[in-house]
Structure 1
Amino acid sequence: MAEHTEANRQYFEKLAKSYKTDFQKGLEAICRQVDSRRSWISDIWTNTEAGNGKEIKMMEYACGPGAVSLTLAPFVSKVVGLDVSEGMVSEYNKNAQEAGFGDKMTALKGDLLAETIPEELPGPEYFDFDIVVVSMAFHHFERPDLAMARFGERLKKGGVCMVVDIVPASDDHHHHHHHQGPHRVEHGFGNAEHTVKSHGFTEEQMQQLYEGAGLTGFRYEVMDEQVVFHKEGKELIKTLFIARGQRV
């Protein structure tokens, strides 16, 4: 497992400075979809009756440059980002400062999926989250079941774990007709293939992961816009889902 984490770390370290630009359109689409589903994800935000006057803590795991954190930061009190790549942590903190959220958004390097949790992460500030967000990272995890269990442990009672990831290509035709354009269209992962452990998750697979971690109130929706990533002169077109479940 450590070997696979290191492969991910090295790959994303190289991408850190260009990630936001390279994947800009895809990140914007994800953030639009997340923002439009905020009330579907949870009813506890700083601007809702259920969240009014409460301190609302969020963690984004495998946070990258923090696109989803920046989208949700206006509606929470505090955001913690965690990533195995120092370069991504640096980009996240820079983006938080530039967006004026430096007082509530901070990332640090950390691996919650290690067999032994790093000593800085058992502290109370890394527990009792109202929401844990994982966007476009589950397909890189060697053990998604362990990941979901670890995220569930970090939630407070009633807290929500939200996952954005890929609908498997075999399941995809139920949802969309693929775009055909002048560019070469790829349905793999290009040069990221060696870091990928799963080619997406069906609704049934995600439900098993949530229930296996003791999370309830499971919901899964396929996003209504496909996401196009440009890599190595090719278009990678993915259909994504958003899922949620909460700790009881």
Structure 2
Amino acid sequence: MSQLILKINPDPIITTKIREDFNAAGFGLIHTNDIEEALEIVDRFEPTIILLDLDFIRFQAFDFCRTLRLQKDNWTPLILMSEKDEEFDLVLGLELGADDYIRKPVRSKELVARVKSILRRQSISWPKNKEKFSNGTNNHDIIIIGKLTICPSNYTIRINDKIIDFTRKEFEIILYLSQNKGTAISREQLLSVLNEEEFLADVRVIDVFISRIREKIEPCRSKPSYIKTVRGVGYMMLHQNLPYIKKSARSLNHPCTYHDNEYPLKSF
């Protein structure tokens, strides 16, 4: 059975044009122009990926993302499409769990390629069993930074031995930063880690992902102790064996008080 794509778009003519290329690539395609029907299709047919057009139902589309991710806890890969290049749409869409943002017009063959890329990365990155460490995991595969434990072999992240849920892209970013801790990594480098085929070209998405990662791992987001912003460069995973947080009478009253030692950057 072919993999199924759900396309939410008001124009059936456009859908007809791309259907041939998707069918040739081994994908089936279901089209709807109704958000409520789209949610029913997701529940009933479990599509492999969802293409959502923002231009005709902008805020309904964001409601769809919110319902899919937060209420239904459904993480089917989701691509947003729009003729507009607005930062608001880009940031909000990614905050709500979209996997990619495509500016129209886009050729059908390119759209097929991007769908394949997302599905390929998903199959590589996310094994079905994330709850247990695999038997083949070696100690040297595990990265420990403070209370953070990262296991690349089965894509799990724990804080104090509790598994924390990360999206695929969030995991790729935190893993790369952890593998290069103590080194300032540019936004462009992180973007290339997310997208080896360079479909995503806006470095602003990195700031969105870092913000989401900090929400999950930082004891105090306003004074991060794991991921430091390096002005003019990007981000750096800090070593945790240094006394960045000092216990003092002042810090007891203000548990998020942060003492950021001068951290020497490596030369570029």
After TM superposition, the score normalised by the length of structure 2 is 0.30
- Which of the pair is proportionally richer in strand? 1
The higher relative CO (CA closer than 8 Å, separation ≥ 6) is in: 1
After TM superposition, the score normalised by the length of structure 1 is 0.32
